[in-house]
Amino acid sequence: GDPHRNTTTEVSVKITDINDNIPHVEDNSPTMFRVREDTPVHGIIYNSFLSVDADIGLNGEAYFSVVSESSSPNLPFTITTDGNLTVSSRLDFETLNAFAMTIRVTDRGPSPLSSVFSLLIYIEDVNDNPPLFSKRVYDLEVKENSPVGTKFGQLQATDADTFPNDQFTFSLHSLRIPSTSDDHVFIVTDEGELIVNTTILDREQFSTYNLLVEARDYGGLRSFATVIVNVVDENDNAPLFSLGGYEFSVNENTTGASQALEISSSTSAASILASDADVGDNARVYYS
């Protein structure tokens, strides 16, 4: 109309959110982790990942899950819906020491949107394996009268851990047989060499020794093995007659002094016996 008339009022316009923003993990979130292999099952590695979503309400709420088909098989880790990275099964560095893990962040909107991010997880070795001998029982030989310092055997062992947890030394734990012998008849070096450590190694006194040897790593884990040492005979004993002297009577009319008294190692007209403390061929006695 004429003249023009007008009025004013306030109008409130409310924008209704739709789910049009993709949730994602915070940009500064870590993507690589190092985890000790003795971390317990259900132990928390990282607490916790946070998601970012510009939407509101359910459209802006997000949860975390593992993308199993994009992660390492037999993955020993999981993530809770609220973003805590945890251990789900026992870790073993010696079996597998690195894993790839893909995580999905999904919102709770009616038409859910999601994104993924990747993690690398490395397992750190701990000293959980003792050194193990290559044999439970070593059967060795050493000649009697061998001089001090004679090497007659080498121990071997392995440790499944990695440096420095795989470093170990050998030692003589005890001399079990004979119990009356000097414990220092033999020595075992740090490197596992068995060495004669006595000037009197006499088979006729002790023919067999039974040693308990030890392999111990620097963390104190250890294992044991048995070493049987057989002392090999040397021809170091002269035969000895059973008596200090012998007296025999022969007939005066016996012809031939050599026929008067027949002596041999097997049969004799008169008994003359000798023995030798050695063994085998070294103990065979001949008479003349």
Residue-level pLDDT, tens digit, the chain, 288 residues: 788 888 899 999 888 899 999 999 999 999 999 999 999 999 999 999 999 999 999 999 999 999 998 889 999 999 999 999 999 999 999 999 999 999 999 999 999 999 999 999 999 999 999 999 999 999 999 999 899 999 999 999 999 999 999 999 999 999 887 766 566 899 999 999 999 998 788 888 888 999 999 999 999 999 999 999 999 887 566 666 667 666 766 666 655 544 444 444 444 445 777 666 666 656 566 666
| Predicted TM-score (pTM) of this structure | 0.73
Selection from 1, 81, 93, 78 nearest residue 41 by Cα: 78
Taking the C-alpha atoms of residue 137 and residue 153, their distance in angstroms, rounded to an integer, is 13
Residues 176 and 229 sit within 8 Å (Cβ to Cβ):
no
Selection from 49, 55, 50 nearest residue 20 by Cα: 55
pLDDT of 285 reads: 64
- Whole-number Cα distances in Å, 14 to 10, 11, 54, 58, 109: 13, 10, 17, 18, 19
Largest CA distance in the chain: 188
pLDDT of 178 reads: 79
Q: Sign of the CA dihedral 99, 80, 117, 34?
A: negative
Question: 216 pairs with which residues across the strands?
Answer: 169, 222
Taking the C-alpha atoms of residue 15 and residue 32, their distance in angstroms, rounded to an integer, is 41
